[in-house]
Amino acid sequence: MKSPATKKLFVMMVLEFFIWGAWLPLIWGYMGADGLNFTDLQITWVGSAFAIASVLGIFFSNQFADRHFAAEKFMSFSHLVGGLAILGMYWAKDFPTFFGLMLVHSLLYVPTISVSNSIAFTHLKDAQKEFGLVRMGGTIGWILAAWPLYFILEGKTGADAIAARANIFLISGAASIALAFFSLSLPHTPAKPASKGESNFAWLKAAMFLKKPFLLILFIVTFIDATIHNGYFLLAGNFLGSDVVGIEQKWIMPVMSIGQIAEILTMAVLGWFLSRLGWKTTMILGILGHAARFAVFAFMPENQTMIIAVQVLHGICYAFFFATLYIFIDAAFPKDSRSSAQGLFNLLVLGLGDLAAKWFFIPLQGRLTSEDGVVNYKELFLWPTGLSLAAAVLLLIAFFPPKQLAPPEEVTH
């Protein structure tokens, strides 16, 4: 029997990830030479705002939200103020204002990712079985976020299309304010005071387990893969819309959303593959998905059909590595350390890996761009291709989890 709040929780997840998916793929070109004309360093700082908020979330803001506020009220306040901040980015044209608004939005938005999960787990009768369906709403929200701009960009090309990208902030902000009001209808989820002896730095206990070689190797590989994963969202939008590939501006986000559709399908069969291939092989395939996609970008940029087709590899990249990673953490860490361990690896995925992507790939693309604005995409994409292959080899030769950590036959979340 489904929990009474399932539909509301599903809508919550749709809006939660719609907000993020509405701006992430296209903000980079908007800040470039044809848009706001920010320098590479300024673009890097704006891109780092979300990662900075993610790092602070691991150490402070997530626990602060959980322990001091009713979750639905925190969601409402954060999305109202954060929504107004990202709405303001539509009108912001100078770097200090633009960066400040993005930082405010990120600091308020990032904690709501964990708070929304907390609300869902609190009100689902059987979270093991029901959370997967609720969380799928987030993926659907990301897919839906690709389509408003399709209609806004209809008939626009060149500088006009880049300028019209500013509408991503209106779309994201409107969704954020909608979620602010919708959150007040969510079931009450009271604050959770820290249990006796619980530390704000519980993740340090989880970090002690990295003394085990197989967990340390996985930690290093996760950092590399998270850097590549975040680099994809940073680089792909401009590449798809470039003269080399030639995809119309209005189609960029829908084409990228093919990856999220593939993610849903891949998650449905992940348990089957895990039970037959095991942890290592499954995760290696996820990493090699990145290598294959970026290799196609590097060597076949003019084959538009192939460029579009390889977007399906996102499903393998996400499910086979990141989803498998979280399932593995749940199996490898003691029960009292699992939550902290998930947070520790989230520090890589949403925080440090994202920071590394911004500070590595944005300057790299700048160095590989000629004076007339032409990017050497072949050399640019050979970097993440090589990093992916190196991470896969490292996992192959150095990752040996204990045999008693058997993969599950069915994945429900």
High-pLDDT (> 70) share of the chain, %: 91
Mean pLDDT of 184-203: 71
Q: What is the pLDDT of residues 262-306, one digit of tens each?
A: 999 998 888 889 889 999 999 999 999 999 999 999 999 999 999
Q: Tell me, yes or no, whether 92 and 182 share the same domain.
A: yes
Check if the beta carbon of residue 132 is closer than 8 Å to that of residue 113: no
Domain CATH for 45? 1.20.1250.20
Q: Tell me, yes or no, whether 216 and 175 share the same domain.
A: no
In a domain, residue 90? The reply is yes
Mean pLDDT of 227-231: 96
Residue that is last in its domain, among 164, 192, 220: 192
In a domain, residue 219? The reply is yes
Mean pLDDT of 58-73: 75
Q: What is the pLDDT of residues 112-132, one digit of tens each?
A: 988 888 888 888 877 667 777
Residue that is last in its domain, among 192, 210, 228: 192
Question: What is the pLDDT, as a whole number, of residue 200?
Answer: 56
Mean pLDDT of 200-225: 83
Q: Which of 19-28, 147-156, 308-317, 372-381 has the lowest mean pLDDT?
A: 147-156
Check if the beta carbon of residue 215 is closer than 8 Å to that of residue 6: no
Q: Which of 64-73, 187-196, 280-289, 343-352 has the lowest mean pLDDT?
A: 187-196
Question: What is the pLDDT, as a whole number, of residue 196?
Answer: 53
Of the CA atoms within 13 Å of residue 122, those in its CB half-sphere come to: 17
Q: Tell me, yes or no, whether 148 and 239 share the same domain.
A: no
Q: Tell me, yes or no, whether 258 and 205 share the same domain.
A: yes
| Residue that has been written with the tokens 């003691």 in this structure | 334
Q: Which of 176-180, 187-191, 355-359 has the lowest mean pLDDT?
A: 187-191
Q: What is the pLDDT of residues 21-49, one digit of tens each?
A: 999 999 998 998 889 999 999 999 999 99
In a domain, residue 356? The reply is yes
Check if the beta carbon of residue 30 is closer than 8 Å to that of residue 165: yes
| Structural domain total, the chain | 2
Residue that is last in its domain, among 160, 192, 224: 192
In a domain, residue 2? The reply is no
In a domain, residue 313? The reply is yes
Q: Tell me, yes or no, whether 288 and 398 share the same domain.
A: yes
Q: Tell me, yes or no, whether 387 and 304 share the same domain.
A: yes
Q: Tell me, yes or no, whether 143 and 227 share the same domain.
A: no
Domain that holds residue 44: 7-192
| Residue that has been written with the tokens 């860490």 in this structure | 333
Q: Tell me, yes or no, whether 208 and 184 share the same domain.
A: no
Q: Tell me, yes or no, whether 121 and 267 share the same domain.
A: no
- Tell whether the model's pLDDT for residue 182 goes beyond 80: yes
Mean pLDDT of 146-161: 88
Mean pLDDT of 356-368: 96
Question: What residues are paired with 375 via a beta bridge?
Answer: 369
- Tell whether the model's pLDDT for residue 147 goes beyond 60: yes
Q: Tell me, yes or no, whether 255 and 209 share the same domain.
A: yes
Going from the C-alpha of 190 to that of each of 70, 117, 193, 244, 369, the distances in angstroms are 4, 14, 9, 53, 52
Question: What is the pLDDT, as a whole number, of residue 327?
Answer: 86
Residue with the bigger pLDDT between 405 and 143: it is 143
Q: Tell me, yes or no, whether 329 and 273 share the same domain.
A: yes
Q: Tell me, yes or no, whether 304 and 388 share the same domain.
A: yes
pLDDT tier, 2 (very low <50, low <70, confident <90, very high otherwise): low
Mean pLDDT of 61-78: 81
Question: What is the pLDDT, as a whole number, of residue 1?
Answer: 42
The phi, psi pair for 369, rounded to 5°, reads -105, 130
